[in-house]
Amino acid sequence: MKVWLLLLLLIASSAFAQKYTVLVYHGANPPYSFKENDKVVGIFADIFARLAQLTGHEFEFVATSVARGQRFFDTGQVDIEPGVSWQWRAHQKVPGIYTLSYAKSVEILLANHSNTLEVVSQAYGSLVGRVRGYRYGPFERHFGEDKLIVYDNISEKELLGQLAYGRLDYVLIGKDTAHYYMANNPKYRQFKDAYTIETAQVSMRLQPHLIELKEQLNTALTTMINNNEIDTIYKKYTDYQH
């Protein structure tokens, strides 16, 4: 009887388990996702490894560019986009549905000195590095000849090198990304968070028909949040205060 019961449980578990694709962006997107030995690692990899344990599902990463990734989502070629705010995707062809918020995305002005800014205008006249193509919404009203002078480059990694050599006064960058590079490069640890530009709550974005998966992920994410697992994963990649 016990053998039959075990078989039934295994069959039920197998029928329940599904495979879902997860969108990550190739290139320089640490600490969220990056490659080591041809394997996707980082915050998203750790989170989904735990979600797989809690839900029984399998999650497969699809690495591509931002523009192509959005087309993949619109055409249903990927199931999940992690780490996004609904406001960022509200105008997409397929806005999607969202899990509960599990973390924050913080955009900052990073400086190579200890000064912090009370107001952005204190930095007017400064040369500020930005990744080419990135947009900062209402904050861009501070860009201009007599305001923040913007210099574009291809990646955060390149901009941080220029900040270290004093070629830039500030860099526009995500706080987690900045702290990841500071944790992994001692010569960057004199950098300081000078000003917070924006803070957004982030969630998992799902294809609209994945309502049941949304509820399963909400349950699993709640467990992870309550157990401080999300914070622990983020600190693994961004904590340099040791």
Nearest to 131 by CA among 234, 41, 29: 29
pLDDT at res. 241: 67
In the chain (242 residues long), the average pLDDT of successive 10-residue segments reads 46 67 85 90 97 97 90 96 94 95 97 91 96 89 96 93 96 96 94 96 98 98 98 94 56
Give the chain's count of helices (H) and strands (E). 8, 11
> Are residues 147 and 188 in contact, defined by beta-carbon separation less than 8 angstroms?
no
User: CA separation (Å) from 27 to 31, 33, 80, 201?
Assistant: 11, 9, 19, 24
Q: What is the pLDDT of residue 13?
A: 46
Element (H, E) at 219: helix 211-226
- pTM, rounded to two decimals: 0.88
pLDDT at 12: 44
Q: For residues 146 and 156, give the distance between their C-alpha atoms in angstroms, rounded to a whole number.
A: 24
Whole-number pLDDT of residue 94: 95
